[in-house]
Structure formats: structure tokens, C-alpha cells
Amino acid sequence: NITLQIDHHTVEVPRGTTVLEAARGVGINIPSLCYMNLKDMCITNLPASCRMCVVEIEGRRNLAPACATRCENGMKVHTSTLRVLNARKTVLELILSDHPNDCLICPKSGNCDLQSLAVKLKIREIPFAGEQSTYKIETSPSLIRDMNKCIFCRRCEMMCNEVQTVGALGAINRGFSAIISPAFEQPLTTSECTFCGQCVAVCPVGALTEMDHTNRLINDLNNPRKTVIVQTAPAVRAALGEEFGLPAGTSVTGKMAAALRQLGFAKVFDTDFAADLTIMEEGTELLNRLTAYLNGDKNVRLPILTSCCPAWVNFFEHQFPDMLDIPSTARSPQQMFGSIAKTYWAEKMGIPREDLIVVSIMPCLAKKYECGRDEFKVNDDPDVNYSISTRELASLIKRANIDFNSLPEEDFDQPLGESTGAGVIFGASGGVMEAALRTAYELYTGQKLEKVDFEAVRGLDNIKKATVRLNGVELHVGIAHGLGNARKLLNEIKEGKSEFHAIEIMACPGGCIGGGGQPLHHGNSELLKARTHALYEEDRNKPLRKSHENPYILKLYEEYLGKPMSEKAHHLLHTHYFN
């Protein structure tokens, strides 16, 4: 270990620790814009480009960036001398000299690191008046890209290239013209972008934000001719509370349902219901493929890959076009919900399709894009009209003057609001696989599964593995979160080296709980762990924890779909892939 002095603290840290981390460890929050550290995933952004974290080290002539300076024995560091404060102020003034001054109407206002620093350092004028960038603002189904606001921290680039290995964003041009952009300055829509939104999740300013649908929703909720219903994704309940000052990991399922009712939705339903439905379809597909494989059918492709994450679907369609027959054909729970709501439920209620609006609340930005895919429309009417993010929901609740924290706990409406614990854990990496295992085990063996917790598939390890015995058969499953990890598993399949029968993939770190539409995670893995914990707690407390025990799912099959993978189920709940 190394001992050093930081301001008035004597600090002992392991060798290799940076001054920034050592200081934060004792509560000295040295400001930074570009630095990011996803410890559990071994990812750090260390371009040392913003220079906000400079400190004075005794015996050194120049100020040093704390994020890129390793601690040394006996080092004496000062983090807030006059020289340091003046340097930080100048750096910030320089950044602001080429930044639009429109905080009042910026989508990131109130949640912007640059704005907070300007407040903290008491910036009252911007002395370096000069040329300003004038880039066109680019919109896509999921993201808005405003390069006038980019401060070149390169966090987005790191997420897109290192974590996701998508490579849609990179630095181009030089000097004043340098920007972060898809290659050849093409729009995101024609690039390799998957709309995972991880670049948005780490952008410290308003350069990358979500496509906002809140005004559209307010209009629809106030249209007397429309019935507007809502579904909420599993991961939203584990993070929404953060927007109202509740500690990370507070589950706000009941308050969320109450808030949605107050906002004016005619019915408050749950995507978790459709997650249970997904397990019925995907689980059956897995067992069918496995049985055929065990019977020596040479045409059957294993492993089967989950297909509920739209950024992941986008990724394999773009990057592995020769493997489109491996993923499950099951639609995502979001889309299964829309499909069932606009057929089974609408028919039951006597609501004409054109008068029904289905909105989803998602932790995800790719879900916005998924709603618009042509396969999920009937006569040009989307099964899910549009999706709003956890952050957008929080802003709506605030706009409607709802005191979220004092709301009562309310239940979802039935029948599309009933779910088991298996549906809840979909929101965390490993959850879809665990849910599938709970059902596949019982359907395959005909025996009751006593221990429903599959600990091996949980957590933030990059790639997780488990082996489950189904009678005499050993089922090998793998789980990856983050598209870079997914790529590794895909390459193994391509090379014929995959050891798995089934693989779950979610595009975002930690699964949907770390989605691009959640309160920004900024690469903080403790936050992801707390949210994950909230979902497993909710699962543990549910009376039913296996998808095939959901009484309303059983009723849906009985009254409408027949059995899993039936012709009707195929038509309403399955899809195909394109490149």
C-alpha cells in the first residue's frame, strides 16, 4: 500500500490508485467531466482531456490531472489552492466560450455536469468570446445529437467503442472543427448505431439526449376520443425513485402505479405480464429446439439467443447478418404487450383499434425505435404507439405537481397487470435466463422446482455461465450484458466453439436497470447493483415466481391463443429479422 497526504487527510491506498480515486475515497470530490470508472466491468475513461481535475503536488512545477496521476508514497497533494481554483475556472471558461448559453431551454438543464460546475465555481461571465460552433441538431427515433453542446469528454465514444464495440461514434476532424460523429458525418440512423443509448447515459452535458415524447403523451391523455393505456417495464420501478431523491435501490412499484393513474391513464398495466408471456413462448421454443437437437435433428440451431432487447436485435442484424436464424423468434415483452392489448384486450373491452393508444414506460431508448419497426404495425398503426423513458416519466410527474413520495402504493390493473417474480427480474442481467430456467425445468421434467433462485446467473460479471440438469440432460446457459460481451459469445458461436444451449443478451451494463432511459448511471456500478437488488427483492416477495403459474397468462392461452407457439401465438407474438 501507499501512504500520501491529500489536503488534511493522510490516505492509504493500494498501489496503482489514482489521486482522483484516493481523494474521492476520503470524501474530497475533485470535479471532473471526462473521467468515468465502471470498476466491476473494468472500464475506465481516462482521456484526461477536460483538465477540470487538476491538483497541485508539492515538488512538481505543473499542475497534474488527478484522474491520470497515480499516487506515490509520501506525495503531498493539494486539491483547492488558489492556483488550482484559478486553473479550473479558466478551463471552465474556455469550455464555455464555445458552448451555447441556453441552459434555460436545454433538455439537460438541472442534470448537467457542466452547468453544476459553473454554479459550483461561481462563473459569472465568460471572458473568452470567440467563434461558436454551429452544427445542425440531428434527431433519430431514439436519440438527439446536438454537437454544439459537446465538450469532447469522449465518454460516449468510450461506451460505444469499448463497451458496446459498435463503433458508431468517433472523433473526426481537428482543432476547432473536431466533433464526435458517426463515420463520414453520416446520421446515426444510417450508421451502425443500435440506439442502446449508452452514450446518452454517460454524456455529462446536453450533447446526447433522448427523443422526448412527453408533450405528445400529454396531448393524447387529454384527447377524449382516445383510450390511453400504459405498460411499465420491469427496470423502471427500481430506478424511478432516484429522480425524487429516494436512495438507489428503492422499489417504487406501487407509487409508480398511483402516479400513472393520476396522470390520467385509463389502465395501468405491466410489461412484466408480457415478460411472463415471453417466457411461455421463448421457453417453449428453447425446449422444442433442445428436444429436436437431442433427437439428432441436424437442422436445428443451438444455442438459442434471447431476442427481447431491441438494441441487441439491432446489433446482430447489423453485425452478424449470417446468423439471423439463431435468435428466438419471440417478440420482446414490450411488443407482445402491445399486440395482446390491441387484439385480445381491445376486443374484450370493445375498443376499436384506432381509438386505443398503448404507451410504454421503458428504461431504454432503443424501445422508442422498436415501437416504430414495420413488423410491429397493423395497417400502419403501431402495436405500441410510443415509448417514454424513466426520466421522461419523472419529468411528467413533476410537471403534473404530483408529490411522488407521498403517493399511496397502488396495484396494477388486471388482467394485463398481473405478473410473477420471474417477470420482475427480466430487468436485471441474467433475469430472463433465470425466468426461462424456472419454467423450462418444470415443463421439461414435469417436476416441481423447489429452489427457484439461480444465483450463478445473477450479478455484474461480464459473462456468466450456469449448468442446469433437466432429468438426464445438462443444459448449459450463458449470459452477457453489454454488446462487447455479446460479441465475444457470438464470435464463439460463429467459430463453432460455443459451449452453450441458450444465451441471454442485454445491451446495457447490468441489463435494463442500466438502460439509456434510466436516471443517468454515469458508469456507477454501485448504482446498478442497488437497482438489481431491488428487483430480486420484489421477486422474492411475490407469491408466484414462475411465469407459467401466472393465472392471467393461463387464461389468455385458454381464451385466445391456444397453446404456446400455436399459429395464433406465432402471428401475434413472434417476428423475424432483417439485415
In terms of CB distance, is 364 or 486 closer to ligand HC0?
A: 364
DSSP 380: T
| Shortest Å, Cβ 187 to ligand SF4 | 11
Q: Which CB sits closer to ligand SF4, 230 or 512?
A: 512
Which residues, listed in sequence order, are joined to residue 3 by a DSSP beta bridge?
A: 12
Tell me how far CA of residue 319 lies from CA of 58, 194, 579, in angstroms.
51, 10, 9
Integer distance in angstroms from the first to the last C-alpha of the chain? 52
The one catalytic residue in 332, 389, 512, 538 is 512
Binding partner of residue 166 among ligand HC0, ligand SF4, none, CB cut-off 5 to 8 Å per kind: ligand SF4
- Binding partner of residue 327 among ligand HC0, ligand SF4, none, CB cut-off 5 to 8 Å per kind: none
Buried b (16+ CB within 10 A) or exposed e, 132-142: eeeeeebebbb
From the candidates 375, 409, 455, 526, which is the catalytic residue?
375
Question: From ligand HC0, ligand SF4, none, which one binds at residue 199 (CB under 5 to 8 Å depending on kind)?
Answer: ligand SF4
Residues in region 186-205 near ligand SF4 by CB under 6 A: 193-199
Instruction: State which residue has the least CB distance to ligand HC0.
Output: 512
Instruction: Output the smallest distance, CB 516 to ligand SF4, in A.
Output: 7
Active-site residue identified among 308, 309, 371, 508: 308
Can 149 be counted among the known catalytic residues? no
User: Do the Cβ atoms of 285 and 444 come closer than 8 Å?
Assistant: no
CA distance 151 to 496: 44
CB of 199 to ligand SF4, least distance (A): 3
> Shortest gap between Cβ of 508 and ligand HC0 (angstroms)?
7
Q: What is the dihedral of CA 295, 301, 304, 305, to 10 degrees?
A: 180
The angle formed by the CA atoms of residues 455, 505 and 180, to the nearest 5 degrees, is: 125
- CB-based contact 33:91 (threshold 8 Å): no
Q: Which three cell numbers stand for residue 506?
A: 442485454
State yes or no: residue 519 binds ligand SF4 (CB under 6 A). no
How many helices (H) and strands (E) would you count in the chain? Answer: 19, 22
Instruction: Indicate the residue among 166 and 493 with the shorter CB distance to ligand SF4.
Output: 166
Helical spans, DSSP H, in 389-477:
390-399, 421-424, 431-445
Question: CA triplet 252, 255, 261: central angle to 5 degrees?
Answer: 135
Q: Output the smallest distance, CB 234 to ligand HC0, in A.
A: 4
Minimum CB–partner distance for residue 3 and ligand SF4 (Å): 40
Among 52, 71, 168, 569, binds ligand SF4 (CB under 6 A): 168
Name 374's Cβ contacts closer than 8 Å, sequence gap at least 6.
none
Annotated catalytic residue: which of 328, 419, 525, 547?
328
Number of residues that make up the chain: 579
Using the minimum distance from each CB to ligand SF4, give the nearer residue, 180 or 260.
180
Given 114, 158, 160, 490, the residue binding ligand SF4 (CB under 6 A): 160
Of 21, 285, 434, 504, the catalytic one is 285
Are 147 and 135 in contact, with CB atoms under 8 Å apart?
yes
Q: Which of 28, 41, 77, 169 binds ligand SF4 (CB under 6 A)?
A: 169
Subset of 136-155 contacting ligand SF4 (CB under 6 A): 143
Question: What cell was used for 298?
Answer: 441436424
CB of 140 vs ligand SF4, minimal distance in Å: 9
Pick the closest to residue 364 from 490, 215, 521, 484 (CA basis): 521
Residue with smaller CB distance to ligand HC0, 233 or 268: 233
Closest CB 137 distance from ligand SF4, rounded Å = 16
Helix, strand, coil shares of the chain as percentages rounded to 5?
45, 15, 40
Asked about 464 being catalytic, the answer comes back as no
> What is the sign of the dihedral through the CA atoms of 434, 417, 562 and 336?
negative
Q: 54 with 66: CB under 8 angstroms?
A: yes
Instruction: Based on the residue annotation, tell me whether 367 is a catalytic residue of this protein.
Output: yes
375 is a catalytic site residue: yes
**Binding partner selected for residue 193 from ligand HC0, ligand SF4, none, CB under the kind-specific 5 to 8 Å limit:** ligand SF4
Cell of 118: 459553473
The nearer residue to ligand HC0, 363 or 417, going by C-beta atoms, is 363
In the complex with ligand HC0, which residue's Cβ is closer, 13 or 486?
486
Q: What is the contact surface with ligand HC0 in residues (CB under 6 A)?
A: 233-235, 271, 275, 278, 308-309, 332-334, 362-364, 367, 426-427, 432, 506, 511-512, 515
Choose the one of ligand SF4, ligand HC0, none that binds residue 429, judging by a C-beta under 5 to 8 angstroms depending on kind. Answer: none
Which of 462, 499, 517, 365 has the alpha carbon at shortest distance from 38? Answer: 462
- Is 282 designated active site? yes
Nearer residue to ligand SF4 within complex by CB, 143 or 151? 143
Q: Least separation, in Å, of the C-beta of 336 and ligand HC0?
A: 8
Residue with smaller CB distance to ligand SF4, 143 or 341: 143
- Told to judge if 157 belongs to the known catalytic residues of this protein, a careful annotator would answer no
Judged by beta carbon, residue 99 or residue 548, the one nearer ligand HC0 is 548
Strand pairing report for 356-362 and 64-65 = unpaired
Q: Which of 255, 367, 368, 464 is catalytic?
A: 367
For residue 131, what is its C-alpha cell? 467563434
Show the CA angle centred on residue 329, arms to residues 323 and 332, nearest 5°.
115
| Cis amide linkage into residue 234, ω under 30° from 0 | no
What's the CA gap between 570 and 281, in Å, rounded?
9
CB of 182 to ligand SF4, least distance (A): 7
| Interface mask toward ligand SF4 for 65-94; x: CB under 6 A | ------------------------------
Catalytic amino acids? 282, 285, 308, 328, 367, 370, 375, 512
Q: Given the rule CB under 6 A, which residues bind ligand SF4?
A: 143, 159-160, 164, 166, 168-169, 193-199
